[in-house]
Chains A and B, each alone.
Chain A
């Protein structure tokens, strides 16, 4: 018969031995070996069960608890050690996986919108906010729509203002401005009030130089109602220009002439390049023209189907390319349709 005291000594010794063993393990494999050595079927702790039959029956439950407690304790320590080792192993592996973070990243093919498209979108955005809607009209126009209905009869001296490409088909031409869209929109909506933006390509019979293109975009604006004034026109244009060019710019309105507006005006902005002191871009005036506008001529209102005694309206026209040239100090309009990616990609990130 053995005494329980003897068992207690063995448990204490094995606990000590187990801890010593676990201290030495260096890998999950070692851990497994230690587990087998202590908790396996023939393990040292498992083997303690063999003592039980030799104990007096009344001491057996206590002995059982002692052995179980030792098992649990060893198992817990073993698990803790295993977690530790695994963490170390992962850490080591990650260290080995280190890359040279200064190497260039994998290239992504970035596309971008043409700057003119971006300027058009910006213009749409600003005017949509003021209740204008976008409409389109044809690029191939008739003399009637491009000129006559806009108060420019044949052989009118104002025709010199637009050098025109004519088609061989009689009466047809490439629109020289987006203004014929005014008539299209008016005839569609008369006598309802209108707030419209009409974008599109226009063409001029002009030798292509750094300052003149034979093709360009224009955006026409038109507002017609019973209570629309030149003061409203100024308000809309100032709001537009502030949003387009940023706060803090100065603007002025000059009397001008377009056959389809009366009174007519042109809007100037202080030169961005020189800040108004005078430079080549502003021809030493300190001002650059940004758009033309005016109150819709009574003849045009009538041609569109509106009674000029009841209705008034304003119209304006601007060039997205010109706006970009002013904003970004682009000195050659040909860049827009030369489509050199070295130019276009500068705008891939959007207009700022």
Chain B
């Protein structure tokens, strides 16, 4: 909402500085997003900001003048002599402005008389100079006709400023052009402030000024409206009130300059005096109005207005020339021939007021705000009227606004108002009365306010208060639709007191029982573990596309996904079921700038619910690695990360969570057929890890020589198994004996199988088993591999002898030979 201050001042005095007012409004919830200064106000402001370096002008001695005659200059070709009147009789001014030529007359211009201060247009830095009467090439120039630059309005000095023809000769220029516009960002509860009067009421209450209640004039001269207009409301659930006035004999033309100026400052498009008046009154009162061309309406003998829902298949062409399909939930203004307007949204083209209009049927009505919103949204028609009706317009506002507009049409369009109005008012506005216990104010605010003070504050906002036993009976003014419970009144009290006056305290309420969030703690532990492994956390979008998901899961089908009904784009149209697409996209992006990427994401995926159930949002953990193992350095040759870098991280994570996992080779269409494993914990599959298939890498534009590794783990399953309490094992009392064991087996035998056989044979004495060498090639025969293990042997109750250790190793060797065809390697 744009509020020109000059307009606001009609309803409330504003003695304070604009900035001070703006701050007061902002703190009270009417957020002033911007203050726009126009004319000398802008100059003054600039001057203040620039510490006087900019000239400040007051426009004192500058008036609106009219060019009476332009004569050639007797001694100079490029100059003319203009005769102007600025309210003090004709005077001459010599000017070289190219937009004033000999023979011109009637232009309105800004006239600076001797002694007035204007900007020196030729000085390198703008500085003010005093206007002096002087002879120019032999002709006396009494006054200066100013350019925009000389007035400090802009840097334009290409010609003099030509004012609107309506400008009143002799009035100070400042009256015409100087103003300040407050741009308000209004929250939905401030519907009442979508009007100058509404803002004026707030300003009055907040600054302690009197709100100058507008006087509603009414001078009907024509024959009664009854017999000329009939109104019927068929759907009173959507139209609480419909009032109409008839203004005949109007002359359609441009609005007067003052109205055009105000409408323009308020950001309104200018149409013609009739439509401008409806807009003007809407901005002033907050009541949207509509003007129909009376003669284009149907009905005999009286024109008939019927307010009803649209019928199936009904259409209307609105003022913007668009034919609209209507649904049967949309409210229409109709006449016996069909729709003439979409109620409270936009008028129809057919009954539009045009230059030839002679009689106006003026509508001021009240429509259901929810229905109006739905209609406007369905038609994507966010008119100024719909913006107000959608937020709620009190029915009681209809008549004063109707009369105000009719009066303006009488004054400004020479109309004749039919006597009486039509007022169909099936659903009366409810009077709201609330009981406010004074202690409620303290209970909510933590600040004691005395009952008389509460009443005084509320009365400033036109709430009628009367003390009752222990409570205050408060009658809510009819222009307030936003107050419905005592808490609303407490907010009004707080706003007027100022939130800064409310103390700042520490909670005295007893502390609730504290309960730890185990699940979040574990999640944070997982993050710590991965950061410790050198991974960087990323957070990617939960919204993705089926195509992106299909790159990693070719078997995905649309039914498996939750779909957005109103996606912003196709790329963000379904909820992810996997972290990998986002993660790998992130890898690809980062590989443009980095040679090494090691990242993880801990986030939710979204699974449609079974019939009737809410969707599930389990947490997953995704890991992705690509590039060399460490940053480039002089220490060692770069070596690419591979499957075992990824596996090492997963193992480390399990270790930290006190879990034991098993890895089994598996296959997945998106992964390298020979370098992919599933992770099992307690026999249940809880994740997948491996090297990406080259085909998938290509589709993701991961074009680098090294492999790309990725894992996705079911964090819910993993965390559910994480040891709740860490356990302590006593330290061994007796020394350990180390034995190394190198065996040669078929290369097809997984290392884990060999390790299992060793563990089985080693029994309780084998405390630790580490594979420390894997070798293929001569002298190991083709198709075989050598595995070297270090065994840590230890007994709980005695020092193990060398003989015992050797015997155990022999036993293990025998078992390996028997079970796996292993040979010893010497």
Interface bits A203-236 vs B (CB < 8 Å: 1, else 0):
1011110000011000000010111111110111
**Which residues of chain B are near A111, meaning CB under 8 Å?**
530-537, 598
- Interchain CA distance A248-B197 in the complex, whole Å: 41
- Interchain CA distance A89-B792 in the complex, whole Å: 39
Chain A residues 218-259 with CB under 8 Å of chain B are: 223, 225-232, 234-236, 238-239, 252-257
Binds A, one of B26-34, B134-142, B284-292: B26-34
State whether A155 touches B543 (Cβ < 8 A): no
- Interchain CA distance A257-B562 in the complex, whole Å: 33
State whether B586 touches A195 (Cβ < 8 A): no
Interface bits A273-309 vs B (CB < 8 Å: 1, else 0):
0000000000101000000000101110000000000
Interface presence of A51 (CB below 8 A): no
State whether B490 touches A172 (Cβ < 8 A): no
Nearest Cβ in chain A — how far from B25, in angstroms?
10
**A139 in contact with B634 given A214-B568, A345-B536 (CB within 8 Å):** no
Interface bits A325-352 vs B (CB < 8 Å: 1, else 0):
0000000000011111110110010000
Contact of A252 among B27, B446, B534, B634 (CB under 8 A): B27
Nearest Cβ in chain A — how far from B51, in angstroms?
13
- Interchain CA distance A106-B597 in the complex, whole Å: 18
Nearest Cβ in chain A — how far from B162, in angstroms?
33
- Interchain CA distance A256-B185 in the complex, whole Å: 11
Interface bits B572-598 vs A (CB < 8 Å: 1, else 0):
100100000000001001100110011
Binds B, one of A8-16, A61-69, A80-88, A128-136: A128-136
- Interchain CA distance A264-B490 in the complex, whole Å: 11
State whether A231 touches B539 (Cβ < 8 A): no
Binds A, one of B89-97, B504-512, B657-665: B504-512
Contact of B191 among A112, A157, A189 (CB under 8 A): A157
- Minimum CB distance partner of A265 in chain B: B499
Nearest Cβ in chain B — how far from A65, in angstroms?
48
State whether A253 touches B520 (Cβ < 8 A): no
State whether A263 touches B190 (Cβ < 8 A): no
Chain A residues 149-168 with CB under 8 Å of chain B are: 154-158, 160-161, 165-168
State whether B507 touches A255 (Cβ < 8 A): no
For the side of the interface on B, what is the size category? Answer: 35 or more
Interface presence of B381 (CB below 8 A): no
State whether A262 touches B539 (Cβ < 8 A): no
Contact of B538 among A155, A254, A299, A344 (CB under 8 A): A344
- Interchain CA distance A161-B543 in the complex, whole Å: 22
Nearest Cβ in chain A — how far from B544, in angstroms?
11
Q: How many chain A residues touch the partner (CB < 8 A)?
A: 92
Binds B, one of A25-33, A36-44, A70-78, A113-121: A113-121
Chain B residues 514-551 with CB under 8 Å of chain A are: 514-517, 519-520, 524, 527, 530-543
Q: Give 19 CB contacts A-B under 8 Å.
A: A111-B532, A114-B536, A133-B512, A136-B519, A140-B575, A154-B370, A155-B371, A157-B373, A169-B562, A194-B512, A229-B445, A229-B505, A230-B494, A235-B504, A235-B507, A263-B495, A285-B26, A312-B443, A340-B589
Which positions in B face A, CB cutoff 8 Å? 26-29, 31, 33-34, 187-191, 369-371, 373-374, 390-392, 442-447, 485, 487-488, 490-491, 494-495, 499-500, 502-517, 519-520, 524, 527, 530-543, 562-568, 572, 575, 586, 589-590, 593-594, 597-599, 604, 606, 608, 614-615, 617, 629-631, 633-635
Query: Would you list the 4 A-B pairs with minimal beta carbon distance, nearest first?
Result: A231-B446, A109-B534, A229-B446, A255-B29
Q: Kindly list 13 other residue pairs between chains A and B, CB separation below 8 angstroms, not including A231-B505, A341-B536.
A: A158-B188, A167-B563, A230-B502, A231-B502, A232-B505, A232-B506, A232-B509, A255-B495, A263-B491, A264-B491, A336-B539, A339-B589, A342-B593
